[in-house]
Amino acid sequence: MDEKQVKRKIVLVPVPAQGHVTPIMQLGKALHSKGFSITVIQTQYNRVSSSKDFSDFQFLTIPGTLTDSDLKSLGALQFLMKLNQICEETFKHCFGQLLQEQGSRDDIACVIYDEYMYFSAAAPKEFQLPSVIFSTTSATAFVCRSVLAKVNADKFLIDMKDPQVRDSLFPGLDPLRYKDLPTSAFGTLEDIIKLYSEAVNTRTASAVIINSASYLESSSLSRLQRELQVPVFPIGPLHLAACAPSSLLEEDRSCIEWLNKQKPKTVIYISLGSICLMESRDILEMARGLSNSNQPFLWVIRPGSIPASEWTESLPEEFSKLVSERGYIVKWAPQMEVLRHPAVGGFWSHCGWNSTLESIGEGVPMICRPITGDQKVNARYLESVWRVGVQLEGEMEKETVERVVKRLVVDEEGADMRKRAIDLKEKLEASVRSGGSSCSSLDDFVNSLQTKNF
Ligand code: UDX
């Protein structure tokens, strides 16, 4: 790469939420290693700090965006839609200033924006620069969003009320059932359809980058390639390709010392990611089931994740007693390090896409308890396509919890899942190595930028 190319800039626009910030910062690192300079333009809410890990990146802030109390009053879906309404002009202004600081317009290679930050498409269009959509969820979830964006809301709502329909396969999306589609607990079906229609609209984008690998989702990726009419680049799992620590919360490393004292492959690690909530009743049943299973457990309970409670203070005394016997609780863990730890035997997860990739990327089988959106799609794939997880459906009951934990870490069935997970891990590691499909796809993307193919 010559001197001129080294200076070309890529602008990244993340959604201000952990599950989206993490992969876009990894993408930034991967592209930085290919010789681009990186500018992150972010909202004031949940900003990534310019820590030593990103000292080579430039960070700019879109002025006057929404706050935490807006998120609480609007809910996640409305919050995102509002963000898109109010940021288009301010982003254009911010981007225009960045352009003026460059020697030439050509110094900006492209804008890569999270699919949910679709306001970002207008600025590069106005300045005639390429834009690229980054999908931080699975290719299958992208396909589902395209399908949901076109459903008749009234009919779909009636279908979803019929238990028989809910359990049946959705036409053309086998093995997904109606109930696995990425509807959301954070808003109405009308809102979700509106948001998905915006998110899957490629507008003027020249390409779509997906944090997935061909080996995992070849048919969904081919379908996207046929339907989107722009090139699709599956370049993941990005956490295996680039290290970019971007935790928005402080990690409690004491859990690693606790893990060091546990026997190999015995611990169930429990985490529901950065936005999901859990009812006290379910938490108590989980604790009872975990305790009855006799397996040690490491549990992340995020402050604010139990409604009407700062942390765990609203839970009954019984909870602390059950945890003190066999468990360890933290507010936020160094998740990748935990999953890599030899003591971890299984991951109880809400199946966010990052957690899914991180778990199979470490060969750890999963207990899948999806809560909303794409998590339901991922859980179904983990159980019935990749066969590295058990889905826990229906009411949370201590007996079911105990059974599912034993299936995963004690029974032969769990050992088979672990073997398949280790096989997946090896395939995924190969895909990001030189010559692997994701590595080649990233090179193709970079070549398209360098040869100005977009
Ligand atoms: C959100 C959505 O909920 C999810 O459905 C979508 O796929 C991505 O965006 P989130 O719920 O935060 O994500 O889950 P996930 O995608 O799993 O991302 C969580 C990230 O936080 C992971 O990278 C995980 O390593 C990290 N994490 C989680 C920690 O570092 N420590 C923890 O204690 C818990």
Domain CATH for 207: 3.40.50.2000
User: Hey, whose CA ends up nearest to atom 15 of ligand 1?
Assistant: 352
Read off the tokens for 235.
């370049």
Residues 423, 439 within the same domain:
no
Residue 397 resides in a domain:
yes
How many Cβ atoms sit within 10 Å of the Cβ of residue 167? Answer: 12
Q: What's the total number of domains in the chain?
A: 2
Query: Which ligand 1 atom is at minimum distance from the Cα of 330?
Result: 33
Same domain, 199 and 280: no
Mutational pocket test of ligand 1: of 355, 366, 371, 372, the residue with most ligand atoms within 8 Å of the beta carbon: 355
Q: Is residue 371 part of a domain?
A: yes
**Distance in angstroms (rounded) separating the CA atoms of residues 340 and 429:** 14
Q: Which amino acid is at 337?
A: E
Residue 373 near ligand 1, beta carbon < 6 Å: yes
Q: pTM above 0.95?
A: yes
C-beta atoms surrounding 320 within 10 Å: 14
Tens of pLDDT, residues 42-99: 998 888 887 878 999 999 999 888 888 888 899 889 999 999 999 999 999 999 999 9
Q: Are residues 269 and 203 in the same domain?
A: no
**Residues 265, 241 share a domain:** no
Identify the helix (H) or strand (E) that includes residue 215. Answer: helix 214-228
20 lines ligand 1 (CB under 6 A): yes
The pLDDT of 335-354, averaged and rounded, is 98
> Do residues 209 and 334 both lie within one domain?
no
CA angle centred on 433, ends 341 and 357, rounded to 5°: 45
Same domain, 261 and 227: no
ipTM reported for the complex, 2 dp: 0.99
What is the predicted pLDDT for the residue at 103? 78
pLDDT at 5: 47
C-beta atoms surrounding 271 within 10 Å: 23
Instruction: Reply yes or no on whether the pLDDT at 119 is more than 50.
Output: yes
- Rounded distance between C-alpha atoms, residue 73 and residue 250, angstroms: 25
C-alpha 339 to ligand 1 mean position (Å): 13
Q: Domain check: are 150 and 229 in the same one?
A: yes
Work out the mean pLDDT of the chain and round it to a whole number. Answer: 95
User: Which pLDDT band holds residue 135 (cuts at 50, 70, 90)?
Assistant: very high
pLDDT of residue 105: 83
CA gap 254, 271 in Å, rounded? 16
The 10s digit of each residue's pLDDT in 374-429 is: 999 999 999 999 999 999 999 999 999 999 999 999 999 999 999 999 999 999 99
Q: What is the pLDDT of residues 147-157, one digit of tens each?
A: 999 999 999 99
Q: Which atom belonging to ligand 1 lies closest to the Cα atom of 18?
A: 12
**Does residue 4 fall inside a structural domain?**
no
pLDDT at 182 (0 to 100): 97
Task: Determine if ligand 1 sits within 6 Å of the CB of residue 353.
Answer: yes
Assess whether 199 and 299 both reside in one domain.
Answer: no
Structural domain boundaries enclosing 97: 9-245+434-450
User: Residue 335: inside a domain, yes or no?
Assistant: yes
Dist CA 398 CA 404 (whole Å): 10
Task: Round to whole Å and give the CA distance between 73 and 261.
Answer: 43
101 found inside a domain? yes
So what's the pLDDT on residue 49?
Answer: 80
The mean per-residue pLDDT over the stretch 287-294 comes to 96
Pair 426, 440 in one domain: no
Position 357 pLDDT exceeds 60 = yes
Is residue 86 included in any domain, yes or no?
A: yes
Residues 6 or more apart whose CB falls under 8 angstroms from that of 451 comprise none
Task: Check if 354 has its Cβ closer than 6 Å to any atom of ligand 1.
Answer: yes
218 CA distance to ligand 1 centroid (A)?
24
Do 272 and 238 belong together in one domain? no
Residue 6 above 60 pLDDT? no
